[in-house]
Amino acid sequence: MTDTKTRIAAGLERAFAENGFAEPNIDSLREAAGVSLRTLYKYVPSREEMVLCALEHRHRRYMEFVFDQAEAADEPVLHFLFDKVSGWMASEAAHGCLFHAAVAAAPRDERLRALLARHKKEVARAVAELSGLPDRQGEITLIVEGLMQDWPLHGDRATESAKNLGDLLVKAG
């Protein structure tokens, strides 16, 4: 990605995360991206493309945030990863998953649904591989999604519950 496209993607992600998908108009999205309208449309030619661009950027940031240094963790890897997901929720997603919000705003958009599915699958695959549970992606998805849904209400208690479930999953093999 070029520096300009990255800056646009970051600004769009921030605008959608702060204001949802219905509220920001094109001018506020252009302002958030920090570019002219012409440049915005050069890189992302429609509002739908702006949403996809923002979510692709968010996916990359999330994967880096959660999984960077997981292999070097000095605690059980699931504990480390669930703490990272909770850290993401605290700093980036206090209102819930932006991918789910995007699909809720445009439930018939197949590209959004595919992006949501790909994001969740990549997260589950990475957690499963790092934790040595490659055949448990479904269970891991359920725990991570549950953590993300419960975190806004219960914070650290949700994290501890996810760790407890992760421990049971590891014991079950």
Residue found under tokens 């994001």: 119
pLDDT of residue 101: 94
User: How many domains, in total, are found in the chain?
Assistant: 1
Q: Which helix (H) or strand (E) holds 163?
A: helix 156-172
Instruction: Return the beta strands (E) in the chain as ranges.
Output: none
3-state secondary structure of 74: coil
Q: Which helix (H) or strand (E) holds 18?
A: helix 3-19
pLDDT of residue 1: 65
CA distance 64 to 91: 14
The predicted model gives 113-136 an average pLDDT of 95
Mean pLDDT taken over the chain: 95
CATH label of the domain that carries residue 64: 1.10.357.10
Residue range 56-85, pLDDT digits in tens? 999 999 999 999 999 898 899 999 999 999
Domain around 136? 3-172
Name residues whose C-beta falls within 8 Å of residue 66's C-beta, 6 or more positions apart in sequence: 81, 84, 85, 88, 123, 126
What is the model's pTM? 0.93
